[in-house]
Amino acid sequence: MNKLLRRFAPRGVFMIIGFYIFSSLRSLRFGDQLLLSVDLLLDQAVVALLPSLPSFRDDLAHSQSTLSCFVQEGKWGWGSNSWPTFTPNRGCLQDTPAKLALLSPNPTNEICKLLVGRRLLFVGPESTYYLHTLWLASLESYENRSHTCLGQRFCTFHHICRLPSSQNNFGRDEISGRKKKIPSANALLATKSSILRFSLSTNLHTSDQYSGVRPQNTHWLKSARRSDVVVMNRGPIPAPGWTYPTDGNTANWTFAVDLCGRKNYLGNNDCTGDLEQLLVNAALHATLNIFLPDLLLSLGNLLADFELRKTRLFWHGSWYIQPLCAKFNLPNTIPLLRGILPKSPPVDPWSFYYNSQGESLTSNNSYLRC
In our burial notation (b when 16+ CB lie closer than 10 A, e otherwise), range 165-188 reads eeeeebeeeeeeeeeeeebeeebb
Q: Kind of pairing, strands 158-160 and 175-176?
A: unpaired
**pLDDT for the residue numbered 177:** 43
Nearest to 284 by CA among 270, 253, 261, 263: 263
Nearest to 341 by CA among 326, 370, 239: 326
**pLDDT for the residue numbered 196:** 95
Nearest to 345 by CA among 57, 15, 4, 78: 78
Q: How far apart are CA 307 and CA 189, in angstroms?
A: 22
Give CA angle at 69 (65, 75), nearest 5°. Answer: 160
**pLDDT for the residue numbered 195:** 95
Nearest to 257 by CA among 288, 279, 241: 279
Residue 127 DSSP code? H
Phi, psi of 107 (to 5 degrees): -60, -30
Q: What share of the chain is helix, strand, coil (3-state, %, to 5)?
A: 40, 10, 45
Whether cis (ω within 30° of 0) applies to the bond prior to 349 is: no
Task: Count other Cβ atoms within 10 Å, centred on residue 247.
Answer: 7
Q: Which domain holds residue 232?
A: 3-368
**pLDDT for the residue numbered 194:** 95
List own/partner pairs for 69-77 with CB under 8 A and 24 or more apart: 70/98, 70/102, 71/2, 71/362, 71/363, 71/364, 72/26, 72/28, 72/362, 74/362, 74/364, 76/28, 76/341, 76/342, 76/361
pLDDT in tens, the chain (370 residues): 333 333 333 333 333 333 333 333 344 443 467 767 777 887 787 777 766 555 556 666 676 777 777 767 777 776 665 666 677 777 777 665 555 566 666 778 888 988 999 999 999 988 899 989 988 988 888 888 888 888 888 888 999 998 874 444 444 444 444 567 888 999 999 999 999 999 998 888 765 554 444 555 557 888 899 999 999 888 888 888 888 887 767 888 999 999 999 999 888 767 877 888 899 899 999 988 888 888 888 887 887 888 888 888 888 877 777 776 766 667 777 888 877 666 677 888 988 898 888 543 333 334 333 4
Q: How far apart are CA 235 and CA 44, in angstroms?
A: 21
**pLDDT for the residue numbered 97:** 58
Contact 275, 349 (CB under 8 A): yes
Q: Which residues lie below 8 Å from residue 207, measured CB to CB, with a gap of 6+?
A: 213, 214, 215, 218, 301
The reported pTM is 0.75
Structural domain count, the chain? 1
**pLDDT for the residue numbered 8:** 33
Instruction: Please report which helix (H) or strand (E) contains residue 143, including its range.
Output: helix 126-143
Nearest to 1 by CA among 310, 324, 364: 364
Q: How far apart are CA 243 and CA 60, in angstroms?
A: 45
